[in-house]
Amino acid sequence: MKILINTLHKAFESRIRLGLMSALAVNDMLDFNSLKEYLDVTDSNLASHIKALEKEEFIGVKKSFNGKKPNTTYFITKAGKKAFDDHLKALEKLIKGVAA
């Protein structure tokens, strides 16, 4: 049986990006510190992965203020949701194909 791994999206090859998308897929919005704590990564590491997903337009950013303190939250976009769902379906097919 031929397994098509080209249906997996390259943007989700990193475990951090996969975790980031998973967290945003089940939450409407998450702030930077929540994502950092959830994924157990450094500020700079998280920022670089967020930037990569923003470039793909898979996540969006909302900047606001809590009083005088800036607050940045992230959300999954429609394009991000579709790409992530397609990636998960491809993974599922890959697993089922190997296990069959």
Q: Minimum mean pLDDT among 1-10, 11-20, 45-54, 65-74: which range?
A: 1-10
pLDDT digits (tens, 9 = 90+) for 67-85: 999 899 999 999 999 999 9
Specify whether the CB–CB gap between 28 and 53 falls below 8 A: no
* Chain length of the chain: 100
Q: Which amino acid is at 45?
A: N
Q: Minimum mean pLDDT among 3-12, 33-42, 67-76: which range?
A: 3-12
pLDDT at 60: 97
pTM equals: 0.85
Confidence of residue 19 (pLDDT cuts 50, 70, 90): very high
CATH 1.10.10.10 matches 11-99: yes
Determine the 3-state secondary structure of 52 from DSSP.
helix
